[in-house]
Structure 1
Amino acid sequence: MNPISILLLGFAMSTDAFAAAIGKGAAMTRPRLSQALRAGLIFGVIEAITPVIGWLLGKGASRYIEAWDHWIAFGLLLVLGLHMIWNGWKPDADEPVDEARKHGVVGLAITGLSTSIDALAVGVGLAFVDTPIAVVAVVIGLCTFTMVTLGVMLGRVLGGMVGKRAEIIGGIILIGVGAVILYEHLSA
């Protein structure tokens, strides 16, 4: 693969994470740049690791991973999206919302993992091509870091415009990303 192809692959792998980050940013209460950078780092690291795992598994398990990756990604994003929609419709409790727990490392990691299942499948495919997987993984991770950081900050703007029900929009975005992943794999 040439450098341009690797860069395009990196941005292609980060698009679903970008959409999910917009939803996360919209659901958060005015996220700061440090929170956006943290989300970008979590998503970027996960997105960089998954193609390497896929590449390692690619020797013997490619047909199993490729057969189910889109269903796993869709299922995780559907559940996360429905959870966000549910939280958006629930009446507000009198106690303050614990933003750290609601949008903490674990929640971001689960969302990041669910949007990186396609990178796992790409890693499987790259196992059969003469490609420097370390370079590809770093590029995918950096592209995802950048796109997610921008997505969270863009979500901040959207969150301010739509008010406290922004979490519903974030849930719909996650479900939409999952549906697109499922559609792309089933129609290919």
Structure 2
Amino acid sequence: MATNAKERLLSAAERLFYEEGIRAVGIERILSESGVGRASFYRHFPSKDDVVVEVLRRRDTLWRSWLDDRITASGRSPEELPLALFDGLAERFSASDFRGCAFINTMVETADPDSPAHRVAAAHKEKVIEVLDRLLAQAGYRDHERLARQLALLGDGAIVTALREGTPEAAVRAGGVAEVLLRAADREPVRH
């Protein structure tokens, strides 16, 4: 357990928000779970909304690091490397604590696209698209930006489907569709 009050607050909030939802968890619950007092909470965060934003920023950093690790560890060829996303999602969907995507969940709960939490969650999705776009561009795909958005759409659909079905199979199916898209896409010869 973290020793610093801010870290304890963030860890408790992240776990509770992911397990139960942002709206379902109040400040009192975060205080109780973290063991941090109210005065300390307000020294670190002016409001619950500020906690939500900080939790999402942390989770974004960790999630993208996780994706980078999956890409690095993948044995796939450069032209198939974007499919590492689906390999990683299958792994994640198998975890007993899988509750969907914290960013999708946030956008559903905070439906106002101008809210800070919604903007941070949407920005995370754009960063994932940027990672896919970079991989596709490096592999010589001509329409890499459009293809990156298509793969991200498949990934998000797989996340929601895995939550509904309770199985990692959605990642496998989405990965199969992504593979078909990659095979059909135009590529330039990559110069080494």
Band the TM-score falls in, shorter-chain normalisation: 0.3 to 0.5
Give the structure with the larger helix fraction. Answer: 1
Scaled by the length of structure 1, what TM-score is found? 0.32
Q: TM-score, normalised by structure 2?
A: 0.32
Give the structure, 1 or 2, with the largest relative contact order (CA under 8 Å, sep 6 or more). 1
